[in-house]
Amino acid sequence: MAKGHRSQIKRERNAQKDTRPSAKLSYARVSVTKACFVLDAIRGKDVQTALAILEYNPRYASSLIKKLLQSAIANAENNNGMNTENLYVAECFANRGPTMKRIKPRARGSAYRIEKRMSHITIVLDEKK
């Protein structure tokens, strides 16, 4: 059990909170491994280069991640007052979401299970120093 008053515990928790601008896409209909191929390409790049990479990447996940990156840039501009020329992709990762289970009929009355995987994608930006 934590010690202290509830407001004091909340204050301490909020003091440890990450203040970097970020954006999160929950329940994206793409598997984690397919999303990570695209995320690995933009990790550590500045935002203009990352947007150019996502624009010409043929994978389906790149269109989702491009919209997410644009949302993170808008958050940095409007909420944190940061300059877009100094921003870069500090962190980007995909976590496993729920899996939709479907059944496909097969020969001789049997059935195969089809798993349609989802992911939660997060992008965190930061300013160059």
pTM: 0.86
For residue 66, how many other CB atoms are within 10 A of its CB? Answer: 18
- How are strands ordered across the β-sheet holding 22-28? 22-28, 111-127, 87-105
Tens digit of each residue's pLDDT, the chain (129 residues): 557 788 888 888 888 888 899 999 999 999 999 999 999 999 999 999 999 999 999 999 999 999 999 999 999 999 999 999 999 999 999 999 999 999 999 999 999 999 999 999 999 999 997
Domain ranges within the chain, ordered by starting residue: 19-127
Name the CATH architecture for the domain at 19-127: Alpha-Beta Complex (3.90)
How far is it, in rounded angstroms, from Cα 107 to Cα 111?
8
126 burial type by CB count under 10 A (0-12 exposed, 13-18 middle, 19+ buried): middle
